[in-house]
């Protein structure tokens, strides 16, 4: 696994959150499937640096190491620019 976070935006609609998730899939190094977006540095194979998934009312972000923290910063920047204030908390299962 890795370091897990919940990224939420108070007073944001599911539609806006879903659109922000789609925008994350356009980041450099992103590859996506129906279930998740994997973020990798250029030319990196194997385990992704980070994974993002859309939950009911938030995004799940897992930093697997490598450039994971850099990707976290880029994802937060994207979310703030599209949704406004966001809340970052540790993901609890």
pTM: 0.91
- Portion of the chain with pLDDT greater than 90, in percent: 77
Burial 6-24 (b: 16+ CB within 10 A, else e): bbbbeebeeeebeebbeeb
Report the domain count for the chain: 1
CB 61 within 8 A of CB 50: yes
pLDDT at 43: 66
Give the CATH number for residue 14: 3.30.310.250
With bands split at pLDDT 50, 70 and 90, how would you rate the model's confidence at 46?
Answer: confident
The Cα 5–Cα 61 span in angstroms is: 5
Cα 9 off chain centre by: 13
Query: What is the domain extent for residue 59?
Result: 3-90
């Amino acid at each position: 696994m890795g370091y897990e976070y919940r990224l939420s935006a108070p007073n944001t609609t599911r539609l806006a959150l879903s659109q922000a998730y789609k925008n994350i899939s356009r980041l450099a190094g992103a590859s996506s499937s129906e279930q998740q977006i994997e973020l990798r540095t250029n030319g990196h194979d194997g385990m992704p640096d980070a994974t993002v998934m859309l939950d009911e009312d938030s995004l799940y972000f897992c930093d697997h190491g490598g450039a994971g923290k850099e990707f976290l910063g880029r994802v937060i920047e994207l979310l703030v620019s599209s949704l406004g204030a966001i809340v970052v908390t540790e993901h609890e299962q």
